[in-house]
Amino acid sequence: MSNWLVDKLIPSIMRSEVKKSSIPEGLWHKCPSCEAVLYRPELEKSLNVCPKCQHHMRISARNRLNIFLDLEGREEIGAELEPVDRLKFRDSKKYKDRLSAAQKQTGEKDALVAMQGTLIGLPIVACAFEFSFMGGSMGAVVGERFVRAANVALEKRCSLICFSASGGARMQEALVSLMQMAKTSAVLARLREEGLPFISVLTDPVYGGVSASLAMLGDLIIAEPKALIGFAGPRVIEQTVREKLPEGFQRSEFLLEHGAIDMIIPRNELRPRLSRVLAQLQGLPTPVLPISLAKEAEPDELEPLTKENEAPISE
């Protein structure tokens, strides 16, 4: 019996363990919505959208800009800016320790990444919130990067696009963070005066000071499917009004139905559809879409905008 254990069973178990350890970690990902187990390389090809239930998973700010902008000619804006703990703020942790942990986790210096580049040949400036960096909260660096991005758009006479994903103003920066609401709103007013489009794309989730300022000031406000969008969260509202909220409350579909946003566009359709709309808004030639992208653009988006349906750019 002992010979059988030593000669057969133990080597078999060891071979099995070797096979298991040879499978790379992170090769599979479970969809948080339908719980389907997905092959990560295929999931990345579908832009982190579940092929089973079409759930739009969160993606990093840098990855979002990389898949949205053309490959050539990208240039980051305000990359040198870093947050400073002016107030020496401390709650359960020191603010500087929270910053260090967030920077190590995300590889970013703060919660907004801004770049200038092109969208199917159209010059644009785009920025995206990094929700994994302290909940995408808006502090001094986020506000300054956004303003610099808007100033580049003013200088280049091109559109500004912002992908929002934020819990709101950063409490660790107190009034400094609240000032960013006014600061970003003021620079967007300058864009409007110059007749340059600002497109706000709302992704899951958008709350607090960001939704109360720049996120809802777009000439065109777009959302991804089923994104949570609001000021206070649904649980806070329920506790305040002491009533059950409607089904789907604060989801992008609910906001579209009630006129708070202009349209919902799936992630894989954003590039072709936005390029057409931006060209029409600025009176530029319609960009020629690659065959792979032309399939994604819906017929309605390919028709010229009329006076009745075009988004307002200036008063």
| Residue-wise pLDDT tens digits, 192-249 | 999 999 999 999 999 999 999 999 999 999 999 999 999 998 889 999 999 999 989 9
- What does residue 54 show for φ and ψ, rounded to 5 degrees? 65, 20
Angle between helices 174-193 and 140-156 (to 10 degrees): 10
Residue 125 host element (H or E): strand 122-129
pLDDT band at 297 (very low <50, low <70, confident <90, very high): low
Question: Nearest Cα to 203, choosing from 114, 291, 122, 264?
Answer: 264
User: DSSP secondary-structure letter at 310?
Assistant: S
Calculate mean pLDDT across residues 161-168: 98
Q: Which residue has the higher pLDDT, 72 or 294?
A: 72
Residue 180 host element (H or E): helix 174-193
- In order, the DSSP letters of 45-112 are HTTTB-TTT--B----HHHHHHHHS-STT-EEESTT-----TT--BSSSBHHHHHHHHHHHHS-SSSE
pLDDT at 287: 83
**Does the annotation flag 53 for ligand binding?**
yes
Neighbours of 267 (CB within 10 A): 21
Cα 11 to Cα 9: distance, rounded to the nearest angstrom: 6
Residue 48 lies in a domain: no
CATH number for the domain that contains residue 167:
3.90.226.10
Residue 67 lies in a domain: yes
**Does the annotation flag 162 for ligand binding?**
no
Residue 207 lies in a domain: yes
The structure's pTM equals: 0.85
pLDDT at 306: 41
Residue 16 lies in a domain: no
**Does the annotation flag 34 for ligand binding?**
yes
Cα 294 to Cα 290: distance, rounded to the nearest angstrom: 6
Residue 45 lies in a domain: no
Mean pLDDT, all residues of the chain: 88
Residue 44 lies in a domain: no
**Number of domains the chain is built from:** 1
- Which residue range(s) make up the domain with 171? 59-302
Cα 262 to Cα 249: distance, rounded to the nearest angstrom: 17
Calculate mean pLDDT across residues 73-86: 96
Residue 53 lies in a domain: no
Residue 151 lies in a domain: yes
Q: Taking the CA atoms of the chain, what radius of gyration do you get in angstroms? A: 23
